[in-house]
Amino acid sequence: MLHGYGGHILRVDLTSEQIRREKTDPDYMLNVIGGRGLNSTRLYEELERDCDPLTPENMLLIGVGPLTGTLLSASAFMTISGKSPLTGILGDSAAGGFFGAELKLAGYDQVVMTGRCEKPCYLYIADDHVEIREASHLWGKDIWQTTAAIRKDLNDNAVQVAAIGPAGENLVKYATVACNNSRMCGRTGMGCLFGSKHLKAVAVRGRGRLTVADTLGYLDLCRELDQKIMTHPEYKKRNALGSTLLMKALNGIGILPTDHFQQGLCGYVDRVSGETLAEKFKVKNKSCFNCNLHCSRYYLSGEVEAEGPEFETLCSYTSRIGNNDLEFGLKMNAFLNRMGLDSLSSGETIGWAMECVQRGLLTRDDFDGLDFTWGNCQTVEKLLGMIIRREGIGNLFAEGTRSLARHFGKGTGEYAFHVKGLDMICGDPRGIKAFGLTYAIASRGGDHLRAEPFFELTERYDEAEKRWGIREIADRLSDNGKAILVEHTERQALLTDCLTMCKNIGLSMDMLDFDFASRLLTAGTGLKFTPEKLDDALKGVIDKDRKMNIDFGVTADQDTLPRRFTHEPLKEGASKGQVVPVGRMVKQYYKAKGWNDQGVPQE
Amino acid sequence: MITLELAKCSGCSRCEVNCSFFHSGKIGRSGARIKVVKIEDIGIDYPVVCQQCQERYCTKCPEKAIEVGALGQVIVSPTLCTACGACELMCPIGAIELYEEIPLVCDLCGGDPRCVKACTLDAIHDEADVSGAVSLKDFKKSSRGLSPEGKRLSYAMTLSRELRDSWVAERRG
């Protein structure tokens, strides 16, 4: 008997409405683990590489980890994967909440969707019962309305729903999928992929129960992790503020994106910080399934109430676009969550436009008369509506920053801060060199979560020497040894994603190492996940991702950062004078990976 | 009896997970005797569990399979129970529900409730001597015809109003 795992792979062809349940193969899982590793491998094996992401040939996968839904703290995530409509390369995005555990309880490790429904529909999974249901009455509704309407339709408030909003329906390239109203699969446009398949939502109800192989051994390991989380030195702060603690923390080290990365210091940070949010608007903690950190928050502001925001949204809609009005940021968080639009990518298009106007490269006339001065909230609100409806200039913005800058030309591309088409996250890489390398090489584009090399921020010099023999790895401003760090944490990050566990806990709080994970997986599933076996699986998946991306057209010269971060030193603050020597770091990274000098994995 | 400080609950469902695991070695909401209702549009997370009510609706079991224990907890006799579902039907708040033909209801884990231990936010307590303090009469009529999930939702909606009002007063004056 297969423990931990749901036991089935669900295949749904939306065109022919053919539904098939396959048994999960334990030998196969030993090589891919689950979650993102499972999704990536499925794409590697089955996806037509040259398909247009918006055609029925593209695949849409939802994967969960082998221990998701069990006692393991923070293993609540699910990963959605496919060829990205935004970037044209590997796309995936994970979210917490309660959907992942529910899918598992229904008996599934992965849902594989292909084709396209003729009419709008949603997929309903209730244990063995799987059905494609019409969703014409839901088309046009926002994510919160859709979630509520499906629960009402099915007369069951415990149904978990992953849905898109109008942005996904209208094929905005960076549309999101959300479960529990506010838990976003935000990046690489998985909501657009849903929309292209006329799939409004996936609803799931699992009435099963999960078993683990070594019940008492597994319980002990989970309790050990619980204790480690509860006694972590940052527990209190993370519990109170969640990721919004980064507003002040990043400002303190001079890398808080301000006015679109022109500065790393924000003069009004106290007005828009996580602390201020907690003091003025938070009413309670929120949590993902079975987590003991409870780092999310529910807030009421003057106009709206919602869960969140996370740091990336908060920063994208405050300092990154020159806005010092926290309440506006909170309003946009709720709005983006309802409409299903990625805050990072939408925020980058806005920041780009504001900087292009500041520099005189573009004017109001280029933007349907919209006034893109820093922090102009009216413009932001109006533009977002236009993007979601693909109206006027919004139609161009809906394609993403890379495409926008190509359209306008005139040197505006220099200010389009993306890597491989994916807009960069909020964290100026000039003061965090390993993160800079991560953005450059990440297999889904400009993003930190592929490696989350948080270790470089910890100043644990002795620990760095012990682990890797290089003290500077704990120094965020040094690039020495960072390729080795990133090579290591990239595997650790993938491991976290394979377990569909939270990165804040697995990586930032440094809770998940290979040895502990191998014991957890073995006790949980009964399969022999030795540390060596895990390492082989992880390296295999990273190589497959790379090969797939090469098939999609990625070349070594795209493993880089926008010019600002490699050539313009930061002007003030604790990272003053810094740039990222990305060229040599990438070369060292290829070497650490055993890839050739063009970044091609060798057999 | 299990009592709740609603304002502290984050909805993590650790109570559910540990309840199910303690009782069966398996994990799943269906196997839990405490179930968290999530009302996402208003930010409420409400773990619903047996309130050891004055009325003791579930004890009107046609097979006399249900009795009340020394801690006020509900005890279901596995030999007398025929899984007829009368208890599930009678309970106004969905705190007793059949799963795989067994009525699941809070038994206080024999005096050491695992949900209380599992809650790291101190939102769930085990209070002695409050058995019979709660009347569920007001929920009886309105719960007619609802599924256990529907009953829990309606109960949680009603009992969270006060907290919601306090949030609005605090944050919007």
pLDDT tens digit sequence for A14-45: 999 999 999 999 999 999 999 999 999 999 99
pLDDT, mean over chain B: 96
Reference A33, options A493, A438, A549; nearest CA is: A493
The model carries a pTM of 0.98
B125 interface with A at CB cutoff 8 Å: no
Structure tokens at A150: 């499906």
Return the residue in B5, B10, B20, B154 with the most chain A beta carbons within 10 A, the one to mutate for interface testing. Answer: B10
Contacts (Cβ under 8 Å, ≥6 apart) of A296: A182, A242, A285, A286, A287, A288, A307, A308, A310, B10
Q: Quick one: pLDDT at residue A300?
A: 98
User: Which CATH architecture does the domain made up of B2-163 adopt?
Assistant: 2-Layer Sandwich (3.30)
Q: Quick one: pLDDT at residue A465?
A: 97
Mean pLDDT of A523-527: 98
CA distance A574 to chain B (A): 36
A181 three-state secondary structure: coil
Q: β-pairing, B97-99 with B102-104?
A: antiparallel
Q: How far apart are CA B74 and CA B52, in angstroms?
A: 8
Return the residue in A305, A307, A330, A525 with the most chain B beta carbons within 10 A, the one to mutate for interface testing. Answer: A305
CA distances from A433 to A72, A173, A258, A344, A489 (A): 32, 29, 19, 21, 14
Q: Write phi, then psi, for A63 (nearest 5 degrees).
A: -120, 145
A450 pLDDT above the threshold of 90: yes
pLDDT tens digit sequence for A396-444: 999 999 999 999 999 999 999 999 999 999 999 999 999 999 999 999 9
Mean pLDDT of A388-401: 98
Q: How far apart are CA A26 and CA A23, in angstroms?
A: 9
pLDDT tens digit sequence for A347-374: 999 999 999 999 999 999 999 999 999 9
User: Which CATH architecture does the domain made up of A232-419 adopt?
Assistant: Orthogonal Bundle (1.10)
Q: How far apart are CA A554 and CA A548, in angstroms?
A: 9
Mean pLDDT of A217-236: 97
* Residue in this structure with the two tokens 């796309």, named with its chain if needed: A91
A157·B13 Cβ contact <8 A = no
Reference A318, options A257, A372, A275, A250; nearest CA is: A257
Mean pLDDT of A188-210: 98
Phi-psi region for residue A140, left (φ > 0), alpha (ψ -120 to 50) or beta?
left
Select from 2.60.15.10, 3.30.530.20, 3.90.1170.30, 3.60.9.10 the CATH code of A8-205: 3.60.9.10
Residues of chain A in contact with residue B167, where contact means CB-CB under 8 angstroms, are 283, 300
Q: How confident is the model at residue B129 (pLDDT cuts 50, 70, 90)?
A: confident
CA distance B85 to chain A (A): 18
A81 pLDDT above the threshold of 90: yes
Q: What stretch of H or E contains A185? A: strand A183-185
Residues of chain B in contact with residue A157, where contact means CB-CB under 8 angstroms, are 37-39, 149-150, 152-153
Q: How many CB pairs under 8 A join A and B?
A: 109
A305·B29 Cβ contact <8 A = no
Contacts (Cβ under 8 Å, ≥6 apart) of A603: none
**Could you tell me how far CA A217 lies from the centroid of its own chain?**
32
Q: What stretch of H or E contains A202? A: strand A199-205
Q: How far apart are CA A119 and CA A133, in angstroms?
A: 10
Report percent pLDDT > 90 for chain A. 99
Q: Quick one: pLDDT at residue A447?
A: 93
Q: Quick one: pLDDT at residue A293?
A: 97
Q: Quick one: pLDDT at residue B131?
A: 79
Complex prediction ipTM: 0.97
- Domain range list for chain B: 2-163
Report percent pLDDT > 70 for chain A. 100
Mean pLDDT of A235-261: 98
Q: Quick one: pLDDT at residue A1?
A: 75
| Cβ–Cβ under 8 Å, residues A345 and A352 | no
Q: How far apart are CA B41 and CA A136, in angstroms?
A: 23
Mean pLDDT of A202-209: 98
B1-B6-B10 Cα angle (round to 5): 115
| Cβ–Cβ under 8 Å, residues A569 and A578 | yes
Q: Quick one: pLDDT at residue A603?
A: 80
Mean pLDDT of A575-600: 98
Q: Quick one: pLDDT at residue B133?
A: 87
Q: How far apart are CA B163 and CA B173, in angstroms?
A: 14
Q: How confident is the model at residue B33 (pLDDT cuts 50, 70, 90)?
A: very high
Residues of chain B in contact with residue A156, where contact means CB-CB under 8 angstroms, are 147, 149
CATH of domain A428-498+530-593: 1.10.599.10
- Domain range list for chain A: 8-205, 232-419, 428-498+530-593
B150·A155 Cβ contact <8 A = yes
* Residue in this structure with the two tokens 């003729």, named with its chain if needed: A118
CA distances from A251 to A248, A268, A344, A573 (A): 5, 10, 18, 8
Q: Is the peptide bond before B92 cis (omega within 30 degrees of 0)?
A: no
Helix, strand, coil percentages (3-state) for chain B, rounded to 5, are: 40, 15, 45
B31·A209 Cβ contact <8 A = yes
* Residue in this structure with the two tokens 């992953």, named with its chain if needed: A162
Q: How far apart are CA B152 and CA A461, in angstroms?
A: 53
B21 pLDDT above the threshold of 90: yes
CA distance B54 to chain A (A): 28
A119 three-state secondary structure: coil
Q: Quick one: pLDDT at residue B132?
A: 82
CA distance A409 to chain B (A): 43
Mean pLDDT of A314-333: 98
**HEC letters along A85-139:** CCCCCEEEEEECCCHHHHHHHCCEEEEEEECCCCCCEEEEEECCEEEEEECCCCC
Residue B41: CA count within 13 A, CB half-sphere? 12
Cβ atoms within 10 Å, residue A483: 23
> At residue A199, what is the residue type?
L
